[in-house]
Amino acid sequence: MTVGRTALIAVAILVYADVVVERILHDYDAMTTSCALRNALSPFRVSCSNSTAAAAATVAPSFVAALRALPPIPRVVHVAWKSDRLPPSSLFSELTVRRLASTNPRWSVRLYNDSAIERYLRASLPAAAYAAVAPRPIVEKVDLWRLVVMHREGGVYADADRWALQPLDGALGPEARLVLPTFRDGGPSQDFMASAPGSPLFAHAIRLNVARRAAGWKSIYALGPTTYAQAVAHVVLGAPDAPADPARHGGAALRAAIEAAPGALVTTAREAPPCTTATARVRGLLCVALWAAYRRSKEAAYEAAGVAHWTRPRRRTKRGAG
């Protein structure tokens, strides 16, 4: 076999593998072994979803009317981080916070440390509401703070570990007053929010969060993603007393409702983090390779900065370690 033919076969295998991996990444949450094999063998993408078909939903006319009265989304990004300065250069920071700043020179990127978030909540919430959240871990405070800052100031909220390889202007249409991407076909993404100030969605999400804390709720997940998803169902889809049912209010139903709504006041997209989001477009094999290296860099950056991810406590550094 000639060198040229060998190289051609190798390229074909890489292209084929890239397509298969991209399919798997797209449907990762619904992927089974049999579906993965079908996707690998078929020249066409095979749907892996076994969920109930999304029920019809519509964006509430009253919500559309409220958005029309709001100003444009301000060019400011709010990021919670342990310091009010950009983290040191590393693969982690160059894919996230530092890239966010360099890719969006016309935007103001504001970093809020733990003390700044504490002050913001104390100044923004009624005394009883602040007293309920004051003793809780910082990750819980950030979940509530992002709702408060979106309502008071608007702009964009982005998690510090969110890849930021695409300009923000591409994720926001000129008429948009709210951007509601979804985490695959689950609920609305909580690590990226974009809104005009004064949105009734965030006013309701704050009230719901505060009320549940007063009622004794403690679960980080229930107070964070679940409560936010239910607020979206209540306000955006006009289901004021309903839980966020996946068939009626999940990602597929939410996107379909937004896409059918008049005008472009609300925009949406299906995200498959970290590689396919409103702020990143990295596909297939490159995504896998970059993700593996990024995770190691992120762990090192978090350890150095003293950041604890909400799913697990921060490891203690051994005394005397160099």
Per residue in 86-112, pLDDT (tens digit) is 999 999 999 999 999 999 999 999 999
114 and 189 in a single domain? The answer is: yes
The identity of residue 102, as a single letter, is S
β pairing state of 182-183 and 155-158 = unpaired
Residue with tokens 């076909």: 185
CA distance 114 to 156: 19
Task: Report pLDDT for 207.
Answer: 97
Give this prediction's pTM.
0.83
157 and 22 fall within a common domain: no
The three-point CA angle 207-209-211 to 5° equals 65
Residue 2: pLDDT band by 50, 70, 90 thresholds?
A: confident
223 belongs to a structural domain: yes
Same-domain pairing of 98 and 44: no
The pLDDT value recorded for residue 84 is 85
Q: Are residues 162 and 271 in the same domain?
A: yes
Name 149's Cβ contacts closer than 8 Å, sequence gap at least 6: 78, 120, 155, 157
Percent of the chain at pLDDT > 90 equals 65
Least confident stretch, 62-71, 96-105, 197-206, 281-290: 281-290
**pLDDT at residue 175, rounded to an integer:** 93
Query: What was the pLDDT predicted at 316?
Result: 42
pLDDT at site 26: 60
Q: Is residue 173 part of a domain?
A: yes
| Residue 314 resides in a domain | no
If asked whether residues 9 and 91 sit together in one domain, one would say no
In angstroms, the CA 322 to CA 316 distance is 14
User: Does 255 share its domain with 114?
Assistant: yes
If one compares 245 and 54, the residue with the highest pLDDT of the two is: 245
Q: Judge if 123 and 21 occupy the same domain.
A: no
Which residue(s) pair with 158 in the sheet?
Answer: 192
Domain membership of residue 311 (yes or no) is no
Q: What residue numbers bound the domain in which 111 lies?
A: 61-281
Query: For residue 306, is it within any domain?
Result: no
309 domain-assigned:
no
Domain total of the chain: 2
* Length of the chain as a residue count: 322
Contact indicator for 287, 275 with CB cutoff of 8 Å? yes
| pLDDT value for 140 | 93
274, 156: one domain = yes
Mean pLDDT value across the chain? 85
Phi, psi of 218 (to 5 degrees): -125, -20
9: pLDDT confidence band, cut at 50, 70 and 90?
A: low
The arithmetic mean of pLDDT across residues 12-26, rounded, is: 59
* Residue 227's CATH number: 3.90.550.20
Are 30 and 122 within one domain?
no
Looking at the structure, tell me whether residues 69 and 17 fall in a common domain: no
**Which residue is it, tokens 């925009």?**
267
Q: Is the pLDDT of residue 287 over 60?
A: yes
